[in-house]
Amino acid sequence: MRKLMSIVLGLTFCGTALAAGESKEAKRLESAAYVVNEIMQSPEQGIPRDLLDRAVCVGIIPSEIRLAFGLGGSYGKGALVCRKGGNGPWGAPSMFTIYGVNFGFQIGGKATDIVFIVMNTGGVRKLLQSGVKLGVDASAAAGPVGRTAEGATDLQMHAEILSYSRSRGLFAGVSLAGAMLRPDYGANYQLYKHVYEPKEILIDGLAAAPDAAKRMDDILVQFSPKGGEPFPKA
């Protein structure tokens, strides 16, 4: 039954994403919503709920294309959404691009969905820097998988970023160390028709969540209605 519901949700997302006149940015958000739903449908293999409840933000990279050339290279486009104020309801997304090497898959090319959770407000502020390198500017680790974070390593429990992958139906923690993340200003402008800095969207709350982000926010509310920690007052 759960598998059937997942298929129905997937068809619904795809149908919405193909609506006439929908922008690439809206389709990216629809795909992100589908990925979050899929990765959380199997509690034994998903992101532990207690970790998701601690998370301040969630980043989703739908179907990131991994191309391996020796060390391995990859590039993807995603969306980052944070709790309003750090511990309120899920808010408006900010688009980003990610690229780098050594993401854990170095043989062959494959489409892989990536989800990462930002565990504290310090990690959020580091991600908002232009050209932040994960594992260097912000600590990152492959996230533990299961119903709870019991048994997680000390490195995982203290990392600012915990990341997960979904490839061909398989879920696992995957390290993003070495990846470079940059704001996608062009996509944000297309989505909001206004020039916003990522901080203005994610921390200051100046942008209203677009209709295209509602499904993603609703799914995050379903799995983690409250949590996070408040952003420090400036």
Q: Are 174 and 110 in contact (CB under 8 A)?
A: no
How far is residue 214's CA from residue 92's CA, in Å, rounded to a whole number? Answer: 9
State mean pLDDT over 46-74. 79
Question: For the whole model, what pTM was predicted?
Answer: 0.84
pLDDT greater than 60 at residue 198: yes
Q: Please give the structure tokens belonging to residue 93.
A: 């997304």
pLDDT greater than 60 at residue 70: no
Q: Which residue has the higher pLDDT, 38 or 202?
A: 202
pLDDT greater than 50 at residue 232: yes
- What's the CA dihedral at 130, 141, 63, 212 to 10 degrees? -60
How far is residue 116's CA from residue 188's CA, in Å, rounded to a whole number? Answer: 20
State mean pLDDT over 147-167. 89
pLDDT attached to residue 44: 81
pLDDT greater than 70 at residue 119: yes
**Side-chain-side CA neighbours of residue 154 (13 Å):** 0
How far is residue 227's CA from residue 98's CA, in Å, rounded to a whole number? Answer: 26
Helix (H) or strand (E) holding 43: none
